[in-house]
Amino acid sequence: MNEFQHALILLTSSLAFSVNASETTALSKGEYLARAADCVACHVVPGGKAYAGGLEFKLPFGSLYSPNITPDEETGIGKWTDDEFVDALQKGVGKDGKHYYPAFPYTSYTLMSREDILAIKGYLFSLEPVKQLPPENKLSFPFNQRWGMMFWNMIFASSERFVPDSRQSAEWNRGAYLVQGPGHCGECHTPRNIFQAMSAGQSLAGAELGNWQAYNISSDIQHGIGAWPEEAIVSYLSKGFAPGFGAAGGPMGDAVEHSLRHLEPADIKAIAVYLKSTPARNDGIVRPALAVNEAALQKGLGLKLFNDTCVACHLPDGSGRQSPGGLAGLKSVNDPSGRNLIATLLEGHTPLAARADQRMPDFARSYSDEELAAVSTFVLRRFGQSNGQIKTEHIEKSRENALH
């Protein structure tokens, strides 16, 4: 081998290494952004294959099912071009001009850059194809007419990319981009109008999500997270709890599990910085005092059930034996409707990232509606300040929503 051949081999090897390193970096970026956008949470059914779709979204006018976004060419997005994928996320219009419904958060994803969107596409196309068709959507007329979304988009959807605010820090702008764009926080935490568009002027003020309540996360001190120290927000987003402030359950627990806990600490902090600066919205549940209502230590079925079942983990004062945070101070125990408390009792909360002894089992089959109503009322009055009362019909309704 002469010197020229040797040099050529070295150059070829160097170029191949550079290309492979570049591809690895691009895939890593795409995977990170897919997590930041929490794509898998909507595109998988319990026990199913990631990104294969089929998850049901229950809306006032019917049910939608998420599509398969694996690179399968027949049932997924394997034949999609770059432009088609970008249009889906920025315009809500997919392959062959197919309009999407705002259950798909393209109204937030539109703020993302083409570069970031194509990084996600590159990552999705690196996955194993899954051949799986989702069920057909079940929507009543006229909502089953997709062409009508063209007019909805003209009124309610923007087509602008995120523009950094030069008056704010780089950290603030990073947080704003993640919250408003890929993180699409407002899609769950902002109430919607009769046309299912996010209500203007009520950003992050809280909204109902099936059996759950997405709480106010604006900077309001009483109703939102304005009184939360920055480190409490960081803990909540990255670990799913903030002692004395909140514990993530239901859809928010899933967001922490599949998305937020995987983000870089600097990005979590940037989100906290931005949220603390958002316009204050005085709607929703007022943050309770960090106290236990001793007057609620009354005799009855609720007290008996709490002592029989809950005390082993939560202790009589609610401080928690294994759990990192207590019951007192949580919004869920100060909400007189008990919405998230009931949902937690019925559905449980078992994040994979948590230790086995920190997972909340479900009690849907263990106790009757009367028993769950009694223990819910006891918890609200013992650890909250609202003096709420849960009735059997509240449990019945929550069960029905969970099943359908």
pLDDT digits (tens, 9 = 90+) for 311-348: 878 888 887 776 665 787 788 888 889 999 999 899 88
The tokens for 133 are 């068709």
**Tens digits of residue pLDDT in 194-235:** 888 898 889 999 998 888 999 999 999 999 999 999 999 999
- Residue 185 annotated in ligand binding: yes
Give the integer Cα–Cα distance in Å for 172 and 271.
Answer: 8
Say what the pTM is.
Answer: 0.82
Spell out the domains of the chain, with CATH numbers in brackets. 29-156 (no CATH), 170-276 (1.10.760), 294-401 (1.10.760.10)
Terminal CA-CA length for the chain: 72
- Residue 310 annotated in ligand binding: yes
76-81, Cβ contacts within 8 angstroms, sequence gap of 24 or more: 76/52, 76/129, 76/130, 76/131, 77/124, 77/125, 78/125, 78/129, 80/121
- Residue 184 annotated in ligand binding: no
- Residue 404 annotated in ligand binding: no
> What is the average pLDDT score of the chain?
85
- Residue 6 annotated in ligand binding: no
Peptide bond into 142 cis (omega under 30): yes
**Tens digits of residue pLDDT in 34-86:** 999 999 989 998 889 999 999 988 877 788 899 999 999 999 999 999 999 99
Residue 295 is classified by DSSP as G
pLDDT score at 47: 86
- Residue 188 annotated in ligand binding: yes
Over its C-alpha atoms, the chain yields an Rg (Å, rounded) of 24
Using a pLDDT cut of 90, give the percent of the chain over it: 47
